[in-house]
Chain A
Amino acid sequence: MSGVSVSEARASYETVIGLEVHVELKTRSKIFCGCSTSFGAPPNTNVCPVCLGHPGTLPVLNEGAVELALRAALALNCRINQDCKFDRKNYFYPDLPKGYQISQYDQPIGEDGYVEIEVGGERKRIGIVRVHLEEDAGKSMHAPDGSHTLVDYNRTGVPLIEIVSKPDIRSPEEARLYLEAIKSIMEYCDVSDCRMEEGSLRCDANISLRPFGQREFGQKTELKNMNSFRNVQRALEYEAERQTAVLSAGGVVEQETRRFDEATQTTVSMRSKEEAHDYRYFPEPDLVRLHISDEWLERVRGSLPELPLAKRDRYVAELGLPPYDAGVLTADRGVAEYFEAVVACGADPKTASNWVMGDVLASLKATGERIQACPVSPANLAGLMKQVEAGRISIKQARDVFKIMWDTGKDAETVIREQGMEQISDEGMLAAIVDEVIANNPKSVEDYRSGKTKALAALVGQTMKATKGKANPAVVNKLILERIGSPDSGASGGGPADA
């Protein structure tokens, strides 16, 4: 089937996507034992009899993990099941030493929430079915020759939450936006680092198509092995096209699990056994029930920070920022806090936004630094902005000053003094130079008077050159105009250049 006909057929099917996201909680110790959760430790050094599933050991629930799961569920607008329990999910795989995973089955800690995303300027709610607590499994490494598998149990027992969305997502792009929103909320709440490359955020997707107007869902496929948000979007795009081709050729989509293959940018059937999983869930007898008191719930609710979308709305409404700026600044909590600190030092919000979105973020990107380690402090950036406002340096000079501040950590005042960059605004100092420039450039003066207003720029440029860029361009402009007057009226049809 050719690309054109597939894309035509795409238009007659509605895409329905649901996502399952696993987020590793930022606790110091594992969910049921005191082993460290630190990433990158040598294999099998963060293990103990509990997480290795030795007979006779008992799990003890980590209060910190419950607290973070609670925070996440509240930030996702879930109803909290204040009385809940843990269950065993039974399956056999070498990365699961006990032969079961402790999870939550019919009483998840949070249910029925939602996340808001912005699609094409419109807010859209994506429903959350549930948020539940569970333990992570170990990591298997398969020998390239297929002779054996090696297992590292350091991740076994690291606390996770699983966030299951409703099938409310209608395009691969919405899927990516949803993931970005989840990541941002988790980071804001300090629930997780959300590092996909370290596996602290993982995503599986369900996707099906149905003719527009049909109520019933089509047959879905499950997609795995997508290690970036971009790849989630690509895998879903590929899968939507593949299913479209199958359906419009009169075929049937098979219910199966497919793996995203990064090299070919396609999805490949995993040919797992057809049988439905039978995990034989039952209540975990080794753990007593969990009760979240009203006090605990309210304390956590009260400790939630302002969330990204609310912050964004406030930047627009209270600080008068364009929605685009507000979106960029609030995507990362650290950036938002930096920006707010600059504004708190008395800086104009829009100008501060330009600096943060421009030079600050660009410099961070170039050096790979996190904003928390930004060598130009918020107070120093505000100080630099004040120098520009006061007319001591031009905006162009300010950007050079910023670079030096970045490299040296010095404040703007010091850098300007040390570099001798102070802008000359004093008319007395500039007048002699302007006179000389006018005397030396009769042609430009003549051009200007005959209506070629661009000639003014040449005269200003000469003066700037003569002062090594230190002259205040606005003052220079004014001094030149005072001396050479207006262009001949009517010569160009336009009004006099006054800026």
Chain B
Amino acid sequence: MRITEETVQNVARLARLAVGREEAARLAPQLSDIIGYAEQLQQVDLEGVEPTSHPLSRYNALRPDEVRPCLDREAALANAPDSDGEQVRVPAVLEG
């Protein structure tokens, strides 16, 4: 699978990364190489093998429905770039 500059731009936009034209031109062949390397796996015969969705074979790591102490608000807001003391303040966003 060949990664085009257009694909790079699209992925960058979805990930909110600023990638310039030159950078995209440089990254496209590199990403193609990486994907191509991983694509070798497609040649493995998987007849009769269940699809794997997780590397760990165990399942059901569950916890009981119990309330545990939360962070206090001051600590919770300490890492936010901005707050009004109660809520995190972010640049205006439009609904949707």
Name A's B-contacting residues (CB within 8 A). Answer: 27-29, 33-36, 42-49, 52, 54, 60-66, 83, 85, 90, 92-94, 140-143, 146-153, 257, 259, 270, 272, 278, 280, 283, 285, 287-291
4 nearest A-B residue pairs (beta carbon): A34-B68, A64-B65, A150-B87, A63-B62
What residues on A are CB-neighbors of B79 within 8 Å?
54
Known: A34-B68, A43-B86, A289-B53. A147 touches B92 (CB 8 A): yes
Decide if A62 touches B96 in the complex (CB within 8 Å): no
Decide if B63 touches A60 in the complex (CB within 8 Å): yes
CA A63 to CA B60, docked complex, whole Å: 9
Decide if B66 touches A46 in the complex (CB within 8 Å): no
Known: A47-B70, A283-B53. A61 touches B88 (CB 8 A): no
Known: A94-B88, A153-B88, A288-B54. A48 touches B63 (CB 8 A): no
What residues on A are CB-neighbors of B55 within 8 Å?
285
Interface of A is mostly: loop
CA A43 to CA B56, docked complex, whole Å: 37
Instruction: Please report the total number of B residues contacting A with Cβ < 8 Å.
Output: 36
What residues on A are CB-neighbors of B95 within 8 Å?
140, 142, 259, 270
Known: A28-B65, A62-B63, A148-B89. A48 touches B70 (CB 8 A): yes
Known: A47-B70, A289-B53. A62 touches B65 (CB 8 A): yes
CA A132 to CA B16, docked complex, whole Å: 28
Question: Which B18-72 residues have a C-beta within 8 angstroms of A?
Answer: 53-56, 58-72
11 extra interface residue pairs, beta carbon distance < 8 Å, beyond A33-B68, A43-B87, A140-B93: A43-B73, A46-B70, A48-B76, A61-B61, A92-B16, A94-B93, A141-B87, A149-B93, A150-B88, A289-B53, A291-B60
Indicate which residue in B54, B61, B76, B86 contacts A60 across the interface (CB closer than 8 Å): B61
Indicate which residue in B54, B64, B73 contacts A63 across the interface (CB closer than 8 Å): B64
CA A28 to CA B84, docked complex, whole Å: 28
Decide if A64 touches B64 in the complex (CB within 8 Å): yes
Known: A270-B95, A278-B14, A289-B53. A28 touches B88 (CB 8 A): no
- Minimum distance in angstroms from A43 CB to a CB of chain B: 5
Indicate which residue in B67, B76, B89, B92 contacts A28 across the interface (CB closer than 8 Å): B67
Decide if B66 touches A29 in the complex (CB within 8 Å): yes
What residues on A are CB-neighbors of B87 within 8 Å?
43-44, 141, 150-152
- The contact string, 1 if C-beta is below 8 Å from chain A, for chain B 1-20, is 00000000000001010000
Q: Which one of A34, A44, A62, A90 has the highest number of Cβ atoms from chain B below 10 Å of its Cβ? A: A44
